[in-house]
Structure 1
Amino acid sequence: MKYLRLVRAHQWIKNSFLFFPLFFAGDLLNIPQLLSVGYGFLAFSLVASSIYILNDYNDIEADRQHPTKSKRPLASGEISKTTGLAIMVVTLAGGFFLAYSIDIRFLYVTLIYYVLNLGYSLGLKHISILDILIVASGFLLRTVAGGVIAQVRISEWLMLMVFLLAVFLALAKRRDDILLAQESGKVMRKASAKYNMEFVNGGLTMLMSVILVSYIMYTISDEVTSRLKTHYLYATAIFVIAGLMRYMQITVVENKSGSPTKVLYTDRFLQITLLGWIASFFSIIYRHNLMSLFGLSL
């Protein structure tokens, strides 16, 4: 449906980062908290959609030169500019109203996210490196927002991992822009002119290494092991290693890193790896809850 494509409903999966604090805190089975974060997910998704529409509106001419972005509803003319702007206002107002009804602090975080991305859409995306940091900050703010709603403390290691992973994915996406520029002779993003393959590949390798170290440090940190009452979280690192290596393979070998969301939706290896990580992490953290649920004892 063209309106779902306009608001980029398929991109809402990014807002699942709101559930991270609840999941990592071992409180995902707390239904009231889970529902609250679910409402936050919807509010954040509506605000994010308004940004997507504004970005598409500002980039109509540039998107028409792009092999895939030219098919977006505004760039293709499938939806008029007036209709697009009207939907943008509705989603923004609805998102902020819902955020306010959930928690005033959540509204503040959502507002910061909006202002930051508004600046991105209006010109900051043309500044190399800053463009990547702003995109990564959006994922960090999603995580903070989830922690605010659930009222759980977010580990410093978790914050660091989320930010680094987001930088990694954003940098991989810039690599795809470089490939398109080499093939078509046209620079799709102004900021992309400041990147080259050597810089991007080196950055990806560095980030992947730091992410892995940060994750392992998180799983063995005293604060996490004592709070979650387990010393076995390090075992889940195998899925993180496999997932990052596969994404590097998709990026560097297959040259298909243009859309992280599309990669996740289509790559079977990544899907299985992610499910394996979730299942192993869940079983380790929530084993006490599951045992109690079925009336068993450890």
Structure 2
Amino acid sequence: MAYIKLLRPKDWAKNIFLFIPLFFAGEITDTGKVLEVLLGFIAFSAAASSIYILNDYRDIEDDRKHPVKKFRPLASGAVSKSIALIIAIGLTIFAFGLAWFIRDKFLFVLAIYYVINLGYSFGLKNVSILDIILLAAGFVLRVKAGSVIAHVPLSEWIIIMVFLLALFMAIGKRRDDVILKLSSGQDMRKSIKGYNLDFLNTLMALICAVIIVAYFMYTMSEEVMVRYQTHRLYYTCLFVVAGIMRYLQIIFVIADSGSPTKILYKDRFIQVVLLLWAASFFAIIYMKDYTLFKLD
């Protein structure tokens, strides 16, 4: 069980972003492309797990001070350092080997992701502002990876929205770190010295507003309406606004923003909103010729 926890399989949910280009291109029903992206998902997950292990290896002492991270396999001593490093090396070799088999351009994107995250683990995460930008860039690279695997062109709108959404969640995570610092009196990470609640609250409000405006502009842009041959995508804005409002509620009212993936796994409201958003988007794009969806 400790070895499974070492890989952080719950965080593999982030790699679902590889399927975003297929979904937005209207090709998510193409079984062949879905299977190709699924292989990319496996490669990305293996690479991510190797990075998680290296990050935990370097953060053992800091994690032992954290109320939750102290139970991680390396911090708790459940897995030895030497075994963890061997697993990390094996996962890296597997990830890059599979990426090379899938497509050379995907291998290139995965290599960029790996190098950025390696730099993050070995010191860049200690630089405030840069740390959250690098976290958000990782999600953009996931989307780019899905695009090159499936040979699907990537809209600038998608890149912008993914980056903003990832930045929004990263800020929420840092806000949780600041709250932990205030309650425990200890810095959980060095970059926290560059943040305080007022600064992060301002950033969250700013990015939140930009995300909503960007999504509205995306759904109503002439380029998107021509591509999907429908003007009804703006209906899905309801779920985007509801999802963001719920995330803000979790952060400011419930005060639980430690991990976006944790929130995704346990919060029923966000799960329902995501499903409704996906279902409505699917219906509008893939079933636009059905009379039922010709509402105006």
Alignment of 1:26 with 2:29, yes or no, is no
- Displacement of 1:120 after TM fit? 0.3
In 2, distance between residues paired with 1:84 and 1:165? 32
Instruction: Tell me the equivalent position of 2:151.
Output: 151
Does structure 1 retain, via aligned residues, the 8 Å contact 2:44–2:110?
Answer: yes
When the two structures are superposed, what TM-score results if normalisation uses the length of structure 2? 0.97
Alignment of 1:195 with 2:195, yes or no, is yes
- Displacement of 1:288 after TM fit? 5.5
Does structure 1 retain, via aligned residues, the 8 Å contact 2:161–2:214?
Answer: yes
In 1, distance between residues paired with 2:224 and 2:32? 23
Instruction: Tell me the equivalent position of 2:132.
Output: 132
* Stretches of 4+ aligned residues off by more than 4 angstroms: none
Greater shift after overlay, 224-233 or 97-106? Answer: 224-233
Alignment of 1:53 with 2:46, yes or no, is no
Instruction: Tell me the equivalent position of 1:110.
Output: 110
Does structure 1 retain, via aligned residues, the 8 Å contact 2:232–2:284?
Answer: yes
Q: Give me the CA root mean square deviation.
A: 1.2
Matched residues, percent identical? 55
Structure 2 gaps of 5+ residues are: none
Does structure 1 retain, via aligned residues, the 8 Å contact 2:103–2:149?
Answer: yes
In 2, distance between residues paired with 1:214 and 1:92? 36
Instruction: Tell me the equivalent position of 1:78.
Output: 78
- Displacement of 1:164 after TM fit? 0.5
Instruction: Tell me the equivalent position of 2:69.
Output: 69
Residues 111-152 of structure 1: per-residue CA shift (max 9 Å, x gap)? 000000000000000000000000000000000000001111
Instruction: Tell me the equivalent position of 2:88.
Output: 88
Tell me the secondary structure at the aligned position of residue 91 of structure 2.
helix
The residue type paired with residue 212 of structure 1 is: I
Instruction: Tell me the equivalent position of 1:255.
Output: 255
In 2, distance between residues paired with 1:222 and 1:27? 21
Tell me the secondary structure at the aligned position of residue 153 of structure 1.
coil
Instruction: Tell me the equivalent position of 1:216.
Output: 216
The residue type paired with residue 67 of structure 1 is: P
Number of aligned positions between the proteins: 292
In 1, distance between residues paired with 2:185 and 2:91? 37
Residues 262-284 of structure 1: per-residue CA shift (max 9 Å, x gap)? 11111111111111101101111
Residues 172-202 of structure 1: per-residue CA shift (max 9 Å, x gap)? 0000001100110001011011101110011
Instruction: Tell me the equivalent position of 1:267.
Output: 267
In 2, distance between residues paired with 1:192 and 1:186? 10
Tell me the secondary structure at the aligned position of residue 29 of structure 1.
coil
